[in-house]
A and B are shown apart, each in its own frame.
Chain A
Amino acid sequence: MIDKKTGLWIYNKMNEIRDFEETAWTLFTENKLRGSVHLYTGEEAVAASVCAQLTDEDLIASTHRGHGHCIAKGAELDKALAELMGKATGYCKGRSGSMHIADFSKGNLGANAIVGGGIPIATGGALALKMQKKPNVAVAFFGDGASNQGTFHESINMAAVWKLPCVYVVENNQFGMTVPVWQSTSVEDISVRGAGYGIPGETVDGNDVVAVYEAFARAKERALKGEGPSIIECKTYRWRGHWTGDPEVYRTREEVEDWKEHRDPIKRFREYLVAQKLATEQELDEIEAAAAKKMEAAVEFAMNSPEPDPAHVLDDVFYEG
């Protein structure tokens, strides 16, 4: 069960993510931000509900659509936005833009611009945790498209054989770029693939915080008991296109509006918190206002940050020490 403190934490993170993504969208349309930007709007329940159960000692590996995971795992909005704008103060010193935000001190092994690229890396993080006998887990976040990559199969098989403390969280947002899941994927529920590795697989409503939270709690418990990995498939929907310039020829405006109107994860969780008397409307309004204010400060910070100095462009190819 989600207690009040956790509920408010999740609600806050979801709002921070939503504000971050929608601000990035606006900045992109205003030509203040460029490059490949993949927005997580509409999928906030997954990252927030999973990361609510992680500490800085737990590890994650993320994806090209990674802002949400990074923020939920402790990334600061200002440094993250500065990176999206290519500024010297960004997480990657302006070298990487949207798709490589990492912070090892928070247990974030990095977003990853290659579809499926982060799955083995999270698996290796779990291997390290197991060899170091740490009471922690690693989480691989990835999409439905990545579940058709070889790395998905190789990593989950390896983790299952070695009983690694890894949880594979599939965010099924219905499309791999423009291709609908039914056209690319052999099964309706990706979680059934767990059977192929002899591990549990569970499909949940990815826009329902409680469902994601509880499924992850089960998978985490199993991992910590040394019983090995699990797959959790979270069915969700991205409100924006695959990337900020996506003409969205593969779906209808009505479909998008239907998801926004009837399955908005933030709205649903707000209603849940109030109905369960875990929060008052006023408390939630205050959280929203604080998140919006933090986002404004992040924009201010990023806009006023310096460009990186080309004199340092060759730094950090290797560690010199």
Chain B
Amino acid sequence: MAKLTYAQAIRQVIQEEMRRDERVFVMGEDVEKLGGVFGTTRDLYKEFGTDRIRNTPISESAIVGAALGAACAGMRPIAELMYWDFAFVCADQIFNQMAKTRYVFGGNAKIPMVLRSQQGTGRGNAATHSQSLESIFMHIPGLKVACPSTPAEAAGLLRTAIRDDNPVCFFEHKALYITKGEVPDDPEFMIPFGKADVKREGTDVTIVANLLYVGRALEAADALAKEGISAEVIDPRTLVPFDYDTVAESVKKTGRLVVVHEAHQNNGWGAQVVSQVGQMVFPYLDAAPVHIGAKACPLPFNPGLEAAVIPSIQEIVDACKAACYFS
């Protein structure tokens, strides 16, 4: 085990996978000398050269489309968008091309590519650089969606993504890059997709959260414990495929479900989880499943305003207490 930051864990896996398989390469804006805004490819160009750590023009459609074309022609690209918000600049290449190529070609294509980027609040990036957009990617069939919340998961999920023969959208959170944690040294360490992780066991209420909100859900669980409520916290880790079974089993035990994400609450992925799990475990429910997320408002710049839009730890606590008839 080595103690690495989330950014270092990502960098290490990219390095190991590029050593292992010469078809793997990185293309994106400022990935070379800068190593990306958050250093996830820092200095890798020194080892692999600028062909394989490839600075691109600021041309998101060409970045995604060329990565797709290269994947069709036998490479295994890791394409990077600087912010997930920029996915709207190249939406056709992601949603109409990358997602659908295999299916529309009658299954006669493998698309081994990873599209990485980061998202979320916390750095004062305002409305077009702070969104949490994973729900949109879950809506279009053909894309796998991974959301690591710890350095170890960033490593294990990214290795799985790079070796997957399908397009994987890899969602990192900008506020997690500096967080530290133990990461297995094993260069074969992989976390399978579609397998949720129970981050904390509990008996009274199940909290499902991803990315930054896994940590916040755990903080909420600590606060709830002080009031005698035992919360179980589950991180789905991948949203496509989604491990509904692990969540359903938990809710059968607790009878209560609270889903929380930084993505907007309106039509956010939590609604899907509430719907799906609600149907699976309806007879076991002791309270209506609850889904909280950012308010339906563009993300503002001012820290106080930003905090007012995204869910607070207190909101998570209050939602859990309400579900447990505590308020």
Contact = CB atoms under 8 A, between A and B. Distances in A.
A122 interface: yes
A128 B74 contact: yes
A96 B62 contact: no
A319 B166 contact: yes
Contacts of A119: 65
B51, B68, B73, B93 — most chain A CB neighbours (10 Å): B73
B96 interface: yes
Contacts of B107: 93, 315-316, 319
A90 interface: yes
Interface string A64-98: 00000000000000000000000000111101100
Interface string A111-150: 0111001011111111111011000001000000000001
B106 A93 contact: yes
A161 B50 CA distance: 13
Interface of B: 25, 51-52, 56-57, 59-62, 64-75, 77, 92-93, 96-97, 101-111, 141-142, 144, 165-166
B93 A317 contact: no
Nearest to A136: B73
Contacts of A112: 97
Contacts, number: 148
Interface of A: 59, 61, 90-93, 95-96, 100, 102-104, 109-110, 112-114, 117, 119-129, 131-132, 138, 150-151, 154-155, 157-158, 161, 315-319, 321
Please provide the 3 A-B residue pairs with the shortest distance between their CB atoms, ordered closest to farther: A124-B69, A120-B65, A316-B107
Given A124-B70, A154-B62, 6 more contacts: A91-B106, A117-B65, A120-B68, A131-B52, A154-B60, A157-B57
22 contacts: A91-B106, A91-B108, A92-B108, A95-B106, A102-B108, A104-B109, A112-B97, A117-B93, A120-B93, A121-B69, A121-B97, A124-B67, A124-B71, A125-B72, A126-B69, A127-B75, A131-B75, A154-B62, A158-B57, A318-B144, A319-B102, A319-B107
B109 A317 contact: no
A129 B72 CA distance: 11
A95 B107 CA distance: 10
Contacts of B96: 113-114, 117
Nearest to B52: A131
A289 B320 CA distance: 77
A149 B93 CA distance: 13
Contacts of A61: 69
